[in-house]
Structure 1
Amino acid sequence: MRTVMREKLCALQDLRKWVWSGMFLAVGGGPLRITPMALLREVLRSGVRDLDLLVTPTGGLGVDMLIGAGVARSVEFAQIVLDEFGMAPHFRRQAEAGRLRCKDHTCPALLSGLQAAAMGIPFIPVRGLIGSDYLRVRPEFKVVQDPYSGEEIVVVPPLAPDLALIHAIKGDRYGNLLLERTEDDQLLIRAAKRVVASVEELVEPEELRRSPEGVWVPSLYVDAIIPLPYGAHPTDCRGYYPIDEDHIREYLEASQSPEAFQEYLERYVYRAADHETYLEVIGSKATPA
């Protein structure tokens, strides 16, 4: 019997039915690389709060914006930076002030936690943690005896976000995706309970299968797909547009005071009530590479 695939196309506003206050929300992409910025702006418009955030394993502009907007209560990470632009200002400020619960990881520990969730297992061993302060600050990391060698090894619990948000290069109406060649988002997609993906370009399934670049992700892992050209702006989407360096500098300038950052959010998030309006606001700043 032939299986008919279900279409999973959604509008940006439909994201609101997937988010709620207090949820465990994962943000795909990197510090300034193919981050689902349009989806994150819609998260802010939805009014949800007290989010427990996860990055995979290095976050940047997107998660910093959520922290600066006051909607995050914790963040699980290996590193949060803005690459060549320096520290992530809101993350650093709130972490230093003790207003944000920070769950620090090594990159291998965080990715291993995602792997455990993807495999449906209760824990997974990770080398390199014995003798470190991670065992002091992360009590859920446990030291156990390897039943084969008798050596001690650390195990970490699975990381299964309620929802993962990612931005993909291409996708079709059924939810099949083409990602950049990175294992991190691919692993996150398999670990999360639900996945909503924005895509730079909506294509037919046949074109997606023929595409020589990227990593193909089947639709069974994806719950909704939202076509959003420039959906990663001001981070990059390789092959489509580079990092908008001027906008990053504007973000950093606005982040120097609460009043200036609130005006930044008003201009680019709240008064720009949808993605089309956001594109009108940035105008020619989002241009193809």
Structure 2
Amino acid sequence: MTAAEPFVTDPVAMAFDENSRLFVVEMIGYSEHRDDRLGQVRLLEDENGDGRYDRSTIYAGDLAWPTAIVCYDGGVFIGATPDILFLKDTDGDQKADERRVIFPGIGDGVNRLNMQSLMNSFRGGHDNRIHGTASGTPGKVRVVGKPERGRSVFGAAIFRSTHACSTSGLRVAARSRDGFRCCWTEVCLQNSHHIQQVMYERRYARVNPNFSPPSPLVDIPVDGASATVFRLTPDEAWRVIRTRWRVAKQFPGAGGGWRPSVRLFHSGNPA
């Protein structure tokens, strides 16, 4: 254990810089409070060299559902759909005073974002490019201030940035990417598929429009999708109650309901 509360809360992504500082994305407010912009980035520092972080600073705040981070040029790229931001501390106070939108347009045209399928997993690749996963969120990404570069249009994809101001190489769909193995292969994961290997990039299959290739994602575990999870900790109280209600059919078929006005009200026993 290198860090815990109160130094960090609700972490969803992190990245180490060249000075062993740890930048942590906190997705506070998931999932109902995106418009409140409660997300933030914390900077953790080990001041005495004992391997445990003992200083925590809010590096940047006012973020709506931040989900990805990677260090670059003394700062960090942050994935906060619909934008990829660049944050940097230029005056040494451990707070990002530079804040720029670099790539807008992820989720462009989507009426409502899927909070469980946002961009994630920024990683540096062997090709010296930054790779990320758009997950199930399509995009029409452009570079701010460079209209001549046009837009990169994609559905669910893994994308990569050639340098700080361009995108290229849209490839395959996955919820989250775990990184690269030693042989330049990628592994992905999602809630139903615990670990998969990317066997090829879709751009190669598009060369022949008459060829219908198999899925580029292959399950690594022999038990396939929706495998049994052997948890070490006991079930949470809320999970136990919810399961009992489901088995007893006390709250079947819960849905959005009919909203004649702004809010949905009910009274009495939900059974």
* Same fold by TM-score greater than 0.5: no
Larger relative contact order, structure 1 or 2 (CA cutoff 8 Å, min sep 6): 1
Find the structure with the greater CA-based Rg: 2
Higher strand share: 2
Higher helix share: 1
TM-score by length of 2: 0.28
